[in-house]
Structure 1
Amino acid sequence: MNATAGRKPVHLAVYDTFADWETGHATAHLARAGHEIRTVGPSIDPVTSIGGLRVTPHLALDALRPEDSALLILPGADLWDTGEDLAPFARTARAFLAAGVPVAAICGATAGLAREGLLDDRAHTSAVSFYLAATGYAGGGHYVETDAVTDRGLVTAGPTEPVAFAREVLRLLGVYEGEVLDAWYRLFHDSDAAAYAVLEKAGAR
């Protein structure tokens, strides 16, 4: 399916050590629904994922503007916990949310947003509560023990929940809803064969 004319692209952040398995469900089904996926890196130089995939970003982070995007997706990466290399992506997430453009962060990216103060007053989740507590953030009281959370345009999830993460993204952008979204999740998360018939009927495979 081709991207719908006039629809803003979804931006997927890519950087060295990004966890390539965490966002695949989300980007694949967004693309199938007509959303253009554009990668954004620290620069336009190639980066390499944890899985050894070499990706050349479509654009550099300093060229990304919230008004040109439908969503910013931030995958986990070792670099989130080893220094300040990815802090500019967290600051960009702040700009997106301030502009009313949603952000979706999974795994280590949630710690980056915690350090930026973006989880201090939003319901959120991550790998485990003490992982975020180690950042020194002030949002521990808003931590939710669940697979994925959406609050005021911000999706968060832990590293073991790429399907739940995608479910929240697909809901947020209106790709699937109601029983179709539920069936999509049951098929890809629970291998529930009965869910396939619901998706087939809705043309949402």
Structure 2
Amino acid sequence: MFTVYVYVLDTLADWELGHVTSELNTGRFFSKAAPRVSIKTVSYSKEPIHTMGGLTVVPDCLIDEIAVSDTSVLLLPGANTWNDPKHGAILAKASELLSAGGTVCAICGATAALAGAGLLDNRPHTSNGLGFLEMFTSGYKGTSFYVDEQSVADGNLITAGSTGGLAWAKQIIKRLGVFEVDTLEAWYEYFSTGKPEYFYALMQTLPSSNSAQQ
């Protein structure tokens, strides 16, 4: 079983999490052999946070409650408030998780936070652009590892820029192994192109019990 911890903070960019959390939570396209996935919101306090889209989220748990394990997954969304020192605790936890074999996934502004913590200095990664990291991160030393793609996976570290939410979701789902390979490809093609042939291809890849629920 995987536990997916979604870090929530004020001004969280709602749209960046939509694809990955909806699929991991519903399991609607999971393979029959997929492991169970539990999703929890986590933050530095139990106080409600307010997303960029105006939603209010009450965290399920605190940072200290994150299990440091190879079955733990940490999602770090973009936000305009990552430079607040109170987020240092989740960056320290991200470092622990990476060392323990857990999976850390950062998108948009969260990549700058990881860069500022030195976690991108020696691993392939991406962001909103190399200039973005250089502009907003003091001491960033990972320029030679920067990859100009929407999303980049380097083992248990997955990063993306603000427009890479779908590609990011694909790489996270692949990492967890909860979709069949052909299901994941059809799913990605459908949501990236909108072409109906990929929807039908997606349905055809599913176990009959899943297909009947769509």
Same fold flag (TM > 0.5):
yes
Counterpart code for 2:37: H
CA–CA distance in structure 1, aligned partners of residues 123 and 13 of structure 2 = 24
Q: Which residue of 2 aligns with 1:22?
A: 16
Q: Aligned pair 1:55/2:57, yes or no? A: yes
Counterpart code for 1:23: L
- 8 Å Cα contact 1:186/1:195 also seen in 2: yes
Which segments of 5 or more consecutive residues in structure 1 lack a partner in the other structure?
A: 1-6
1:177 deviation in Å? 4.4
Larger Rg: 2
SS in 1 for 2:37: coil
Q: Aligned pair 1:188/2:182, yes or no? A: no
Q: Aligned pair 1:200/2:195, yes or no? A: no
SS in 2 for 1:78: coil
The Cα RMSD (Å) is 1.6
Normalising by the residue count of structure 2, what TM-score does the alignment of the two structures yield?
0.87
Q: Aligned pair 1:38/2:32, yes or no? A: no
- 8 Å Cα contact 1:11/1:69 also seen in 2: no
- 8 Å Cα contact 1:167/1:185 also seen in 2: yes
- Which residue, 7, 11, 23 being the options, matches 2:5? 11
Counterpart code for 1:127: N
Instruction: Return 37-46 or 188-197, whichever deviates more.
Output: 188-197
CA–CA distance in structure 1, aligned partners of residues 160 and 2 of structure 2 = 24
CA–CA distance in structure 1, aligned partners of residues 199 and 149 of structure 2 = 25
Aligned ranges for residues 29-178 of structure 1 at < 5 Å? 29-33=23-27, 34-67=36-69, 70-80=72-82, 82-134=83-135, 135=137, 136-178=139-181
Counterpart code for 1:42: Y
Using the aligned pairs only, state the percent identity: 39
Which segments of 5 or more consecutive residues in structure 2 lack a partner in the other structure?
A: 28-35
- 8 Å Cα contact 1:9/1:68 also seen in 2: no
1:62 deviation in Å? 2.2
The C-alpha deviation readout for 1:138-190, integer Å capped at 9, x for no partner, is: 11111111110000200000011111110111101012243321211111112
1:74 deviation in Å? 0.4
Task: Give the ranges of 4+ consecutive aligned residues of structure 1 lying more than 3 Å apart after TM superposition.
Answer: none
Normalising by the residue count of structure 1, what TM-score does the alignment of the two structures yield?
0.91
Instruction: Return 180-189 or 165-174, whichever deviates more.
Output: 180-189
The C-alpha deviation readout for 1:36-71, integer Å capped at 9, x for no partner, is: 210001111111111111011000112222238531
